[in-house]
Amino acid sequence: MSTRIAVYPGSFDPITKGHEDLIARAFTFADRVIVAVAMNVAKQPLFTLEERVALIKRAVDRPDVDVRSFDGLLADFARAVGASVIVRGLRAVSDFEYEFQMALMNRNLAPGVETVFLVPAFDLTYLSSSLVREVARFGGDVSQLVHPAVRQALAKKFAT
């Protein structure tokens, strides 16, 4: 049987426990997960591309997970790596509109690749990278929300 490859794309600025949870859940239908870190995020990221990739590698240390960066269209990247599935997380209704548009556009661009939406663990539903950045920026405790390496990286970024 062929290897089922899932691509899990995002900004990961930084990776949170919510992302980690979704990566683990993707293995219910995938043999390999490629975490695809977008280079061209419109917003100015807190962490550089290299930092975001390195933090994901620290937080998700398993042989069946690859961490790659990509530029350009996600659909092209997914096809190039032989993925059959794009994984996205759905946390709240507010995520839906954008995710729905993106899924339809990606299907248009890469008809053989299906988008699969996963729901995170209940206690991680409220979690987002932007909230984590905000809490860390003002000295709040993010140790329950991110891997220790990410917590340290945030503390370093915001050290005055």
User: Which amino acids are annotated catalytic?
Assistant: 19, 43, 91, 129
Tokens of 74: 């996600």
The reply on whether position 38 binds ligand PNS by CB under 6 A is yes
The CB density around residue 1, as the number of other CB atoms within 10 Å, is: 4
Q: Which of 81, 105, 116, 131 binds ligand PNS (CB under 6 A)?
A: 105
In the complex, minimum distance from the CB of residue 157 to ligand PNS, in angstroms, rounded to a whole number: 18
Q: In the set 24, 54, 90, 102, which binds ligand PNS (CB under 6 A)?
A: 102
Q: Which is nearer to ligand PNS, 58 or 107 (CB)?
A: 107
Examine residue 74 and tell whether it contacts ligand PNS (CB under 6 A).
yes
In the complex, least distance from residue 106 CB atom to ligand PNS, rounded to whole angstroms: 5
Q: Are 106 and 117 in contact (CB under 8 A)?
A: no
Q: Which residues contact 65 (CB under 8 A, 6 or more apart)?
A: 23, 32, 33, 34, 35
**Neighbouring residues of 113: CB distance < 8 A, sequence distance ≥ 6:** 75, 78, 79, 83, 84, 85, 86, 106, 107
Site residues (vs ligand PNS, CB under 6 A): 9-11, 38, 41, 73-74, 102, 105-106
